[in-house]
Amino acid sequence: MARAASTGHRIGESIRHGDAPPGTLGTRSGDRLAAAAGLVGIRRVSRDRVAPECGADDLASGIRRGVGRAPRRKADRVDSTMRPVSARPRRGDCQLPAVPVPDWSGLAAASLSPDRVRHLLEEWQRLPSVAAWLGTVRPAAARALVAVIGASEHFSGMLRRNPAWLASCFSRESLAAPRPRDALRREAARFLDDALAQANHAGAFRELRQLRQREHLRIAARDLSRAATLEETARQLSDVADICLAGALRLVRARIASIHGEPWEETGDGGWRPTSFCILGLGKLGGQELNYSSDVDVMLVYGDEGRVFRDPPVAGREPPPGGIANHQFFRRLAEALVAEVSDPAPEGQLFRIDLRLRPEGNTGPLARSLDSHETYYAQWGQTWERLMLIKARPVAGDRQLAADFLEMIQPFRYPRSLGERLLEEIATTKHRLETEKAEGDALRDVKRGRGGIREIEFVVQSLQLLNGGRQPFLQNTGTLPTLEKLAEYGLLTPGEAHELAEAYRFWRDVEHRLQIENYRQTHAVPESAAGRERLARLLGFRKTAEFDARRELHRTHVRAGYDKFLGHRPRPAAEPGLPADFDTDAAAWRTLLAAHGFEEPARALRIVRGFV
C-alpha cells in the first residue's frame, strides 16, 4: 500500500538519523512495526504509533528506502551512542544502528533523589506522548533529565506541571550549546507584539513568566549535566533577566501611557521631544553574573522633567493642556513595573526586584531624571556607591539615555586622581564588609563569609576604582574578565589572579547548587552531615571530606589576597561624643540630629555626610 510504504520510508529516515519524534505516525500498532523491522534486520525498535492498515511487507519496503537514502559511506558509520544491530547484514540491507533504551531504573538509583525520580517517571509512563519520548530519548538527555529531577524539587514540580517542555529543554541542540540571546529576544518579541496589538497585557505577562521558567529549566539542564561552564550559566541567566525586564517595561509603559498620555520635555530651541526611560542593571545583573534565585538590582532613569500630553506638542505653538508631570508619570511606571515583575503569579514570579541601591535608598524616589542623578553623585555620592556603579550596565529601555548616564558617572566611579580620603573610605567600607552579618556563620556563608564571594568582588572593584581612571581596560563589569586584566596590568600576579578566579568559580558553583533545590536565595553550606554530603555529590565530589578540603583551600587563598591588598589601614578616628560611622551608626546620627532641632534628620544626615 502506498500509505504503508510512505510511513515506512519516514520510519526509515528517522531510524537513520536516530531521532524520530514520538507520536507522529498515526494510530498505535507496535506489533506491525516490530514485524516490519524484523524483515529488514532491526533487532529492536520503539513501539511508536503506526496506521492499522499498514502491512508489514509494505512498511519494510519503505523502511529500506528511508534508511537507504544515506550515502553508503555514511550508512556504514555507527554513532558512538548507538550499537550495531547485526554484524553481517543481508545483501542489499544497510547495517542499522538502534538507539538504546535508557536504563531509567539504574539512572534513578544512582541519582541524588531516587524516590523523586522514580515517582515522576512512573507518572509520565501513564502519559502516552511522554512515555513515547522517554522510550526514544538519547542517553545524554536521559542523564541530564535525571540530574535535574534529582537535584531540584523546584524543577521537578515544573516538569510535572509542564511535561510538554521535555522535548525542547532536553533536545540535542539545547544541551549542546547556549541559546543565542537574539533567538530569545525574537521569541519574546513575537508574543509581545501580538499582545500589545490586542492590548492583552495580562496574557503577555503570563507568556513572559512561562518563558522565564522554561529558559531557567533549559539552562539548569546544561548546568547540572556539566555541559555548561559557570560563565555560560551566569550569562544565560542574565540574558533571560534582560529580556524579561525589557518585555515587562514595554508592557507597563504602554499601559501607563494609555491612561495618562506620553511624557515630553522641552528642548533648548523651544521645541519638544519625547522623554526617554531606561533600566540599568547593578550588582550581579550588571556584571551578567546572576544566580538562579538572585534578586535583580536595578536603577531607573528618565531623561528630563516635563509634562505628559495625550496629543504631541508642536514647536512654536501653545502646547495642549498638560496632564501630570514627568516625575509623576515615571513614579507610576516604576511602581507598576515593580509590582508586575515581583508578582507571585500562578505561572511563577519573574524576579524579586531590588531598588535599594538608588540614590537615597529606600527614602529616595523610585525613578530620577539624569540631572537629578548627576547632582546627587556630585554632592553626596559615597565610596560604596562608586564601587556599586562599577557594575552598572544598560539592561532595558532607551540605549542612548543609558549611555548618557554611564558617561555622566564616569568621573565618579573611575576618578583619575585619588586623595587620602578615598583610601580611608575604602578602609571604612572594608570594615563594614567584615562586620556584615553572615548567614549561619562566617565559615558556612559562601557569599558574606571569610574568604567568600564578597571579598573577591571587593578586591576586584577596589582595584578598579583606584586604577580604572588611568587604565581604561580595567573598566569592566564582570569579575572574571577583570581578574585577567588586573594580572595583565601587573596589579595582581598571575598566580594571585588565578587563585581568586578559581575560588570565585568554585563559590559561585556552590551558590548555584544551594539555590537550585528550592529556588531560595540562600548562601549557607548546610550544617548537617547529610546536607553537606548531598551538596558535595551535586558538585561532583566523591566524599564530603574532599569538598570540605576544597572549601578551606579557596577560603585561605581569598583571605590571603584580601589581607595583602587592603592591609590593616586604621579607620578614621571619630569625633569625641559623635557616632563613630555614618553607615553603621546612621540611626544614632538621625537621633542626634533630631535632638538638635532638625525637622528632617535623614536629609540633614545626607548633607552632613557631604561635608565630611
353-354/277-282 β-pairing: unpaired
Count the neighbouring beta carbons within 10 Å of the beta carbon of residue 25.
20
Sign of the CA dihedral 330, 331, 334, 336? negative
Q: Distance (Å, rounded) from C-alpha 87 to C-alpha 4?
A: 28
**What pLDDT was estimated at residue 409?**
96
Residue of 5, 23, 6, 18 lying closest to 96 (CA atoms): 18
Q: Distance (Å, rounded) from C-alpha 44 to C-alpha 34?
A: 7
The whole-number mean pLDDT for each consecutive block of 10 residues of the chain, a chain of 612 residues, reads 51 47 37 38 37 43 47 36 34 46 89 95 94 92 96 95 95 94 95 92 95 97 95 97 97 95 88 95 96 94 94 78 89 97 92 95 95 95 92 97 96 82 72 63 84 92 91 94 96 95 97 92 90 94 95 94 69 52 72 67 66 48
Q: Distance (Å, rounded) from C-alpha 378 to C-alpha 459?
A: 25
- As given in the structure block, the three cell numbers for residue 353 are 526586584
**What pLDDT was estimated at residue 123?**
95
- List phi, psi (to 5°) of 523: -135, 5
Count the neighbouring beta carbons within 10 Å of the beta carbon of residue 528.
8
Amino acid sitting at position 492: L
Residue in the block written with cell 535599594: 356
What is the CB-side half-sphere exposure of residue 355 using CA atoms within 13 A? 21
pTM of the entire structure? 0.77
**What pLDDT was estimated at residue 607?**
61
Phi/psi class of residue 155: alpha, beta or left (left: φ > 0; alpha: ψ in -120 to 50)? alpha
**What pLDDT was estimated at residue 419?**
64
- As given in the structure block, the three cell numbers for residue 446 are 559562601
97-98/83-84 β-pairing: antiparallel
What is the CB-side half-sphere exposure of residue 172 using CA atoms within 13 A? 10
**What pLDDT was estimated at residue 565?**
78
**Most distant CA atoms of the chain, gap in Å:** 103
**What pLDDT was estimated at residue 573?**
43
- Domains plus CATH for the chain? 2-98 (no CATH), 104-174 (no CATH), 177-413 (3.30.460.10), 420-566 (1.20.120.330), 576-612 (no CATH)
Residue of 183, 309, 300 lying closest to 245 (CA atoms): 300
